[in-house]
Amino acid sequence: MLYDKARIFVAAGGGGNGCLSFRREAHVPHGGPDGGDGGHGGDVVLVCDDSFRDLQTYKRRAHYKATRAGHGEGDLRHGASGPALQIPLPPGTQVTSWDASTHDLLVPGQRVVVARGGAGGRGNKRFATSTRQAPRLAERGLPGEEGWIDLRLKLLADVGLVGVPNAGKSSLLARMTRAAPKVAAYPFTTLEPVLGTLQGAERQLVIADIPGLIEGASDGAGLGHDFLAHVERTRLLVHVLDLDPADGSDPLENHATIEAELRAHDPRLAALPRLLALSKADLVPAHDAQAAAELWAEHVGGAVAVIVTSSATGEGLDTLATELLRRVPLSPAPAGTVSAGDETLPEHKVFRPAADAGFSVSRTDHGAFLVEGERVLRLLRRHDLENDEALAHIEGRLRRMGVIRALETAGFQPGDDVEIGGVVFELHPG
């Protein structure tokens, strides 16, 4: 069974705490602060690994956590940074993070940091100045990023076989490659994509048997979204059409249904080059098969080659293989490349918006002043609010950030309650 979807929880390592320490040695009076910094927490890194084929590993285990960094120690010893946690994923995996950002892992060795480790706290040595020679505060390490990410595997195949159920795609793949999809003498539909390799004289092509599509697949009917996702990265489509459908359906309607579903799922699929393979030619008279090929050639136009095939007798399979090897480019054009005929882009300037204050001030229902903002929240997370020196340091940072001025503009008076990150305290600006 091909596992092409998974959801996992990743957590980066937290940063190490800075150390509050003073040098104490015999015959060395007033040794001064010597607390080291905490290390940086381990990142969670997704790595494209071509030794993986699907996502079944992540169906069995859903939680992944990187290592926390070491804490700082005395004698200016810094904590060790946590090693990155590497999660291998098969090529073709699309990753959607909790913040709705997406990443495509296509090339083996490609790396994406999906959760960053927390920053380490500074030891008290870093707070020593000419006027504060014995600081009694140190920073705490920050927690690492964490959240759920969705993994979706979209097969990286050169050629995709599409068509209605029981059109003969699996039989075609089995005869042209070494793949072994389920093939039987009774009607059924394949429930998962199957890959096979077509061997040419100087190259290979990967062919994917995309399970049978039905009307409404683009809207999720059946397993429509699951199946259509695997067509997105193919470079050529072979529309397999049964010359004599066992259910008595009209081949013209079947062809129109599949083409409409491909367009509805992604307009880019309508622009992909195509071949039309008329399958099961052994079930109809030879002249009828030839007449159907001529009619279909007029219907689809000269850009789409029409080939009569039979998986039972091997008719047309060599011709189809030759066409596939000829029509599929040797390698896809790398993203962002410019052809020789394109003009060179002129130099351009990048304008970035100025950073905003990074916080907001409002009043709560209880009359306290609520300060919100990631920068302010990080400041409080780093310090011990029971430490008087730490509180004085926080007050100085809030003043430099403009928070005190914004509070005073909102009507703040010394001694009023201020809430930051769920913590309520009295603020007495000096």
Domains held by the chain: number: 3
Q: What is the pLDDT of residue 154?
A: 77
What sign has the CA pseudo-torsion 187, 189, 194, 199?
Answer: positive
Burial (CB < 10 A; 0-12, 13-18, 19+), residue 326, is exposed
Q: What is the pLDDT of residue 199?
A: 79
The answer on 393 and 249 residing in a single domain is no
Mean pLDDT along residues 110-129 = 94
The answer on 141 and 175 residing in a single domain is no
pLDDT(98) > 90: yes
Domain closes at, from 127, 153, 179: 153
Residue 352 within a domain:
no
Residue 406 within a domain:
yes
Q: What is the pLDDT of residue 179?
A: 58
The answer on 111 and 10 residing in a single domain is yes
pLDDT(340) > 70: no
pTM listed for this prediction: 0.68
CA distances 230 to 36, 174, 204, 253, Å, are 52, 19, 19, 23
- Cα gap 414→399, rounded to integer Å: 13
- Cα gap 207→216, rounded to integer Å: 25
User: Which has the closest alpha carbon to 71: 10, 129, 124, 12?
Assistant: 124
Neighbours of 409 (CB within 10 A): 10
Considering only 82-86, 97-101, 157-161, 294-298, which range has the smallest mean pLDDT? 157-161
Considering only 179-188, 225-234, 282-291, which range has the smallest mean pLDDT? 179-188
- Reported as a single tens digit per residue, the pLDDT across 6-43 is 999 999 999 999 999 998 887 777 778 999 999 999 99
User: What one-letter code names the amino acid at 417?
Assistant: D
- Cα gap 232→358, rounded to integer Å: 40
User: Which has the closest alpha carbon to 37: 95, 76, 87?
Assistant: 76
Q: What is the pLDDT of residue 187?
A: 41
CATH of residue 318: 3.40.50.300
- Reported as a single tens digit per residue, the pLDDT across 200-237 is 877 778 888 876 554 443 444 434 445 566 677 788 88
Question: Which position has the higher pLDDT, 91 or 195?
Answer: 91
Task: Tell how strand 204-209 and strand 159-162 pair up.
Answer: parallel
Mean pLDDT along residues 45-51 = 89
The answer on 211 and 291 residing in a single domain is yes
Q: What is the pLDDT of residue 44?
A: 96
Q: What is the pLDDT of residue 117?
A: 96
The answer on 128 and 84 residing in a single domain is yes
Question: Is there a contact between 73 and 21 (Cβ–Cβ < 8 Å)?
Answer: yes
The answer on 295 and 163 residing in a single domain is yes
The answer on 30 and 148 residing in a single domain is yes
- Ranges 202-211, 222-231, 256-265, 376-385, most confident: 376-385
Q: Chain-wide mean pLDDT for the chain? A: 82
Domain closes at, from 138, 153, 168: 153
pLDDT(242) > 50: yes
The answer on 140 and 166 residing in a single domain is no
Domain closes at, from 303, 327, 351: 327
**What share of the chain has pLDDT > 90, as a percent?**
31
The answer on 164 and 122 residing in a single domain is no
User: What one-letter code names the amino acid at 90?
Assistant: P
Sorted by sequence, the CB contacts under 8 Å of residue 38 that are 6+ apart come out as 15, 16, 17, 18, 19, 69, 70, 71, 72, 78, 79, 120, 121, 122, 123, 139, 140, 141
Residue 377 within a domain:
yes
Residue 289 within a domain:
yes
pLDDT(49) > 80: yes
CATH of residue 384: 3.30.300.350
CATH of residue 142: 2.70.210.12
Task: Tell how strand 102-105 and strand 159-162 pair up.
Answer: unpaired
The answer on 188 and 132 residing in a single domain is no
Considering only 81-85, 111-115, 140-144, 279-283, which range has the smallest mean pLDDT? 279-283
Residue 340 within a domain:
no
The answer on 299 and 267 residing in a single domain is yes
Residue 179 within a domain:
yes
pLDDT(185) > 60: no
The answer on 63 and 99 residing in a single domain is yes
Q: What is the pLDDT of residue 212?
A: 54
Q: What is the pLDDT of residue 168?
A: 82
* Residue-number span of the structural domain to which 317 is assigned: 159-327
Residue 341 within a domain:
no
Task: Tell how strand 146-153 and strand 93-96 pair up.
Answer: antiparallel
Residue 354 within a domain:
no
Mean pLDDT along residues 249-262 = 83
